[in-house]
Structure 1
């Protein structure tokens, strides 16, 4: 399966640090963590849309829909376990209806997406053995994390690059 392009929402510095603290806590407990992903483009984010390709009209529509919503304060509340024997652990993100509507409109306009609907989340760990889920939950605790989403970026796995499409001040950037 080819790697998917993505539209991703990025938190501000404080939100980035809060998510990275979760990543570090998992690593300190000798558990899988997103810190294990050492790619230069790895950063805390909420994926808005994954797709095999993203064309210019879709990117422009994304900036038009999401840009006016930024900055956007959301709450990462609750943890979710996704998968089988080895799981992905993530924080679910409560988002306002306007962002959900934008995400669903973009997903409907995309050529194909791997999953129907949208489950807003921030990934904390991948390939976590199911037997270690309880320990990971204890490490992370139950406190909510407030994130201030400030930018929309495009991940291009073919080029190995990220491009900011729009930032909280509404300024689009060109690739």
Structure 2
């Protein structure tokens, strides 16, 4: 499976710190955590679109539709599980309707989008065994966190380049 190109939303410093607290709590408990991902571009983010390739026109539309709405407040609240035998532990986000519409409009224009629809979330851990989920729920923060999404970036895994849009 090819590595996916992505357009991602980034929270401000306070939002990053809130997510990193969850990453650290999972790590300290000996559980999978995004803190364990050592890639130089690993940071708290919300994937807007992932596809095998993104064109310059996709970047421009992302600027027009999504970046033009920033900054915007979102609420990180409920915890969710994505996947099968092993799951990703995520914090689901409540986002303003205008941002949802803009993201769905963008996604409708991008070829070969990885998933239908959009489920805004921040990943806390990947490839977690299902029997580790109860322990993970005990250690991550249970309070809702309001954060401000301030930046849009594009990730090109083939070139290893992150570009602010």
Q: What TM-score results when the alignment is normalised by the length of structure 2? A: 0.98
- Please state whether the residue corresponding to 2:66 is helix, strand or coil: helix
* Distance in 2, Cα, partners of 1:68 & 1:39: 28
Shift of 1:125: 0.0
**Which 4+ runs in 1 deviate beyond 4 A?**
none
* Distance in 1, Cα, partners of 2:12 & 2:83: 29
Residues 82 and 88 of structure 2 are in contact (CA less than 8 Å); yes or no, is this contact kept in structure 1?
yes
Shift of 1:106: 1.0
* Number of the residue aligned with 2:110: 110
1:143-154 alignment to 2 at 5 Å? 143-154=143-154
Provide structure 1 residue ranges, at least 5 long, that are not aligned to the other structure: 166-175
Residues 49 and 114 of structure 2 are in contact (CA less than 8 Å); yes or no, is this contact kept in structure 1?
no
Q: What TM-score results when the alignment is normalised by the length of structure 1? A: 0.92
- Please state whether the residue corresponding to 1:158 is helix, strand or coil: coil
* Number of the residue aligned with 1:39: 39
Coordinate RMSD, CA, aligned: 0.8
- Please state whether the residue corresponding to 1:101 is helix, strand or coil: helix
* Distance in 2, Cα, partners of 1:53 & 1:82: 23
Q: Which moved more, 1:155-164 or 1:138-147?
A: 138-147
How many residues are matched? 165
* Number of the residue aligned with 1:8: 8
- Please state whether the residue corresponding to 1:150 is helix, strand or coil: strand
1:42-121 alignment to 2 at 5 Å? 42-121=42-121
Shift of 1:57: 1.1
Provide structure 2 residue ranges, at least 5 long, that are not aligned to the other structure: none
Shift of 1:141: 3.6
* Distance in 2, Cα, partners of 1:114 & 1:14: 29
